[in-house]
Structure 1
């Protein structure tokens, strides 16, 4: 299944923020209902509901990945067992961790 759970590693527990899915038309991000009820930090402005669809990877998530135009991108891909740049799979394998926040992505089983 092409779905990642987006979590925030809090001081006491992991909190599910939402779910990122890869679909034939692109990508869907859907907030977890409990997260929306109990938290103020959100990635996307709520407009109609809690589901967002885009034909390409959302910029917020794409920014957590190495740029595919880097001169050493093939070496990076190889280190994660990838033959070509696939932003969703790279996000899953790197878990999208960056030094500036406590969000990460977990592959759904």
Structure 2
């Protein structure tokens, strides 16, 4: 759980559809009220063609007694007949829009937004699920034939290798298979936090939990990252 002065918060990520680079553009906070503001890489994203959310046209802190409709509308309707199965999938016992947003990211097929639960500097126990980035640029599939992915399986443990000499991002963390094959990278929005934790010598596990070979190269390998390690060979 991420907190800011005793308030929980999530980051809003926008992925540039051309370069596939992730930008942290907003911060959603839950305390006595809900608040939203632009932050972090907001200006960099604008230079790449991103525009402000229509519901938040100004650079200020917006406040609401309920989760902003522009975000709650990205979630399954609580009146759906199968809502209990959806909640069970995410480990929830009752409908809580904010908790569901934290679990499923509020992702939709019509845009490239996603909410993420950040890792804070004082977190010593971490569990996050995310997709490995950059696979389409490294695997011989070239974004067209996912059957050519390196031979990995659900349950495989992957290795992390910091890349301080990376020309594009000195905080880059390379993800390798257990045979040493370069698979991809940790998402940019988790780089610095994970680097800081690894520098403390904490044990970790990065385990494959989902493989999708149906052609979506941005979301073909999903992992569960844990500190301390909970995986068993």
TM-score range, shorter chain: 0.7 to 0.9
Segments of 5+ residues of structure 2 without an aligned counterpart are 120-233
The structure whose RCO (Cα within 8 Å, separation 6+) is larger is 1
Moved over 6 A (4+): none
Q: CA RMSD in A?
A: 1.6
Cα distance between partner residues in 1 of 2:61 and 2:102? 20
Q: Which one has a larger percent helix, Structure 1 or Structure 2?
A: 1
Indicate how the Cα distance of structure 1 residues 23 and 60 shifts in structure 2: closer, same or farther if over 3 A, else same: same
**DSSP-derived class of the 1:76 partner:** helix
Output one character per residue of 1:4-40: Cα deviation in whole Å (capped at 9) or x when no partner: 100101124111111001112x210010164157525
Cα distance between partner residues in 1 of 2:61 and 2:83? 32
Please give the TM-score of this superposition, normalised by the length of structure 1.
Answer: 0.88
Residue 60 (structure 2) pairs with residue 45 (structure 1): no
The alignment covers a number of residue pairs equal to 106
Please give the TM-score of this superposition, normalised by the length of structure 2.
Answer: 0.43
Larger radius of gyration: 2
**DSSP-derived class of the 2:35 partner:** strand
The residue number in structure 1 matching 2:111 is: 101
